[in-house]
Amino acid sequence: MSRFDLLIKNGTIIDGSGSKMFEGDVEVSDGRIAETGDLAGEDGATVIDATDRYVAPGFIDNHAHSDWTILVHPTGDSKVMQGVTTELGGLCGYAAAPIDRDEWWKLLYVRMTVGWSMHYSAAAYNTWPLPYGRQVDVDWSSLGEYLDRLEKTGVGLNYGMMFGHGAVRYYAMGLEARKAERRELDDMKEVARQAMEDGGFGMSAGLSGCPGCWADTDELVELCGVVEGYGGVYMPHMRNSYLRSSIEETIEIAERSGVRTCMSHTRLNAETRRLVDEARARGVDISFNMYTYPGSIAGNIVYMLPRWLSRRREEGFDWIVERLRDPEVRRRFVEEDYPQWRSIQASVPGKPPHRWGADELEPAWSRMQVQQVWTAGNRRYVGMTFSEIAESRGVDPWTAWFDMMVEEDGYLRWLNFRGTSYEDICTTRPSSSSSRCRTSPSSPTRPSSRPGASRPPRPTPGPTARSRWSWAST
C-alpha cells in the first residue's frame, strides 16, 4: 500500500517561500503537502510525472471582483484552470456585502471604479438576460449573510471578502456629494465593525468614483481605525495612482490609523517607489500591488459619465444612452462635465483641487482600443483606437465615441493603455518587501472538516479578529 495519496515527481518546484526553484518531488496525503525534495524510491496511490513542468502551490488572487459572479459560476473554472485556488473579493469599494437589500442595485448602477460590465448590469437588474443562463437572487444584507450564502452555494476556491467603503457610505448617506456628518460617520463605523465581526478581511475603497470620491481623508482614517482594531487591511483604489497627492494621502491614512495598507493596482514609477520606501522606513506598514501590463480593461461608459447623469439611476440605463444623442448634452459633456469630473477624481476633498493642464483633459483616444462590441456593424472596429475610428468615420474622436456608445446601447468596452509600461517594470523593479501585499500575517490553517469550521482563527492579530474563509467545496 502506498504511503502517500499523491506523488508529483521530477518537477521544478517553486514553493512560494521566496527561495530559488529546485528540482524535486512533492508528496501529498489527506489533501496536504506531506514532503518535498528528492523522494526517489517513494510511491503514491496516484503518480504524476512533472518532468519539464513547474510545480507550485495554488496562486492567490488578492484583487478579485468575483463577489457576484462566484454565485453564478461557483466552481471558478476561469481561475482554477490558471492555478488560482484562493481569491479575495470585495475590492475597489463596491463589495457584494454589506448592502441594503432593497436598494443594492442602485449602488451597482453608479459604480465607477470597475464600471459598467455585463455581469454587473445583469446582476443589478435581475431581469436582463444573463449570459450565464441564470440570475442572482439577493437574499442577504450583511457580510455574514453573504458568506453564509456563499457556503450554501459551495465554491471551487478558497474565498475571503473585504467590505467596501463605497457600500458603507451609501448605506449611511446615499450619494450625497459632501463631507459626512458625525452621525453618518458613526453609522459607517458601526457597519464596518459588524462587517469585521462577520469575518471581513478589511476595507477596500474606490476613491476615483462616487460615492468614495466625496470622502475626505479624516473619514477614511476613522474607518481604517476600526479595521486596524481587528487586525485587518486597507486596500484602496486611489483617487489617481499617477499623482503624488493620492500616494501621499494613502500613506497618511496608514500612518494616522496604524492600519496595514496595500495600495491597489498601483502604477509603478520611481517617485511612488521612493514614497513607499520612505514610509516603510518610518515604520508604516504599507505595500502595493501593481499592473504588470500596460493595458487595463476598465474602459466603459460609466467612469466617464458626469454625476448629473449617473445619479438619474431610477430613469434606467436606456434613458442615459438616449440623452447622449442630444447635441446639447454632448456639448455640455465635453466642455463642462468631463473636465469637472476629471478634477474631482484627482482631488482630495478639503484640500486644494488638482488642476490638469489643457492637454491632460482630453481623453487619450490613441490609447483607448475597442475591445468588445455587440452589433455586427461595429465589429470591424475591434482592435482599433478611437483616434483610428474617428479618422475612419471622418469625425472627431468625441463624436466617434458618442456615436458608438449610442449604437451599442452603452455596452461598449475598450482597453486603456495607460498602465505601467514595460520599461517602468524593467527599470523600477520593486523589492520583495515593498511590493508584497499581505492580507493576513500568514495563511489561516484549514480545518480538517468543513462543516462549522469556516471561521478559522487568525494567527497573530488580537483575539477578536476572526477573518472568515469560505473553503473550496467543489
Q: Looking at 57, 73, 101, which one is the last position of a domain?
A: 57
CATH code for the domain in which residue 99 is found: 3.20.20.140
Three-point CA angle 436, 441, 442, nearest 5°: 95
Do residues 259 and 220 lie in contact, with contact meaning Cβ atoms separated by under 8 Å? no
Q: Same domain, yes or no, for 78 and 16?
A: no
Asked if 55 and 12 count as a contact pair (C-beta separation under 8 A), the reply is yes
Residue 362 cell numbers, joined: 482630453
| Amino acid occupying residue 155 | V
As given in the structure block, the three cell numbers for residue 463 are 483575539
| One domain for residues 40 and 116 | no
Residues 49 and 88 in one domain: no
Dist. CA 289–CA 314, nearest whole Å:
36
- Do 253 and 329 belong together in one domain? no
Whether 393 and 324 map to the same domain: the answer is: yes
Residue 258 sits in the same domain as residue 349: no
Whether residues 317 and 226 fall in one domain: no
**SS3 letters across the chain:** CCCEEEEEEEEEECCCCCCCCEEEEEEEECCEEEEEECCCCCCEEEEEECCCCEECCCEEECCCCCCCHHHHCCCCHHHHCCCEEEEEECCCCCCCCCCCCCCHHHHHHCCCCCCCCHHHHHHHHCCCCCCCCCCCCCCCCCHHHHHHHHHHHCCCCEEEECEEHHHHHHHHHCCCCCCCCHHHHHHHHHHHHHHHHCCCCEEEEECCCCCHHHCCHHHHHHHHHHHHHCCCEEEEECCCCCCHHHHHHHHHHHHHHCCEEEEEEECCCHHHHHHHHHHHHCCCCEEEEECCCCEEEEECCHHHCCHHHHCCHHHCHHHHHHHCCCHHHHHHHHHHHHHHHHHHHHCCCCCCCCCCCHHHCCCCHHHEEEEECCCHHHHHHCCCEHHHHHHHHCCCHHHHHHHHHHHCCCCCEEEEECCCCHHHHHHCCCCHHHHCCCCCCCCCCCCCCCCCCCCCCCCCCCCCCCCCCECCCC
Q: Are 466 and 457 in contact (CB under 8 A)?
A: yes
Structural domain contains residue 425: yes
Q: Would residue 409 count as lying in a domain?
A: yes
User: Residue 464 has what pLDDT?
Assistant: 38
Residue 445 lies in a domain: no
Grid coordinates representing 50 are 512533472
Same domain, 214 and 98: yes
| Residue 457, domain member (yes or no) | no
Angle at 208 between CA 410 and CA 283, to 5 degrees: 150
Q: Per-residue pLDDT for the chain (474 aa), expressed as one digit of tens each? A: 577 889 999 999 998 888 899 999 999 998 888 888 898 888 888 999 999 999 998 999 988 888 888 888 889 898 999 999 999 999 988 888 888 777 666 565 555 333 333 334 433 333 333 333 346 778 899 999 999 999 999 999 999 999 999 889 988 888 788 899 999 999 999 999 999 999 999 999 988 877 888 899 999 999 999 999 999 999 999 988 878 889 999 999 999 999 999 999 888 788 888 999 999 999 999 999 887 777 766 555 555 666 666 555 556 667 778 888 999 999 988 888 888 877 777 778 888 877 777 777 788 899 899 988 889 999 999 999 999 999 999 999 999 999 998 998 877 888 888 666 666 666 655 454 444 444 433 333 222 222 222 333 333 333 334 566 666 654
- What digits encode the pLDDT tens for the residues 376-428? 999 999 999 999 999 999 999 999 999 998 998 877 888 888 666 666 666 65
Position 285 in a domain: yes
**Residue 108 confidence (pLDDT):** 59
Residues 364 and 218 in one domain: no
Q: What is the dihedral of CA 114, 118, 119, 123, to 10 degrees?
A: 100
Could you give the CA distance from residue 282 to residue 180 in angstroms, rounded to a whole number? 31
For residue 463, is it within any domain? no
How many structural domains are present in the chain? 3
Question: Is the Cβ–Cβ distance between 182 and 217 less than 8 Å?
Answer: no
Q: Tell me what pLDDT residue 187 has.
A: 95
The angle subtended at Cα 34 by Cα 32 and Cα 40, nearest 5°, is: 135
According to the model, what pLDDT value does residue 287 have? Answer: 93
Q: Which of 110, 132, 107 is nearest to 122 (CA)?
A: 132
Residue-range definition of the domain harbouring residue 336: 297-417
Residues 381, 245 within the same domain: no
Q: Is residue 449 part of a domain?
A: no
Predicted TM-score (pTM) of the model is 0.79
Query: Do residues 267 and 389 both lie within one domain?
Result: no
Is residue 407 domain-shared with residue 425, that is, in the same domain?
no
Would residue 441 count as lying in a domain?
A: no
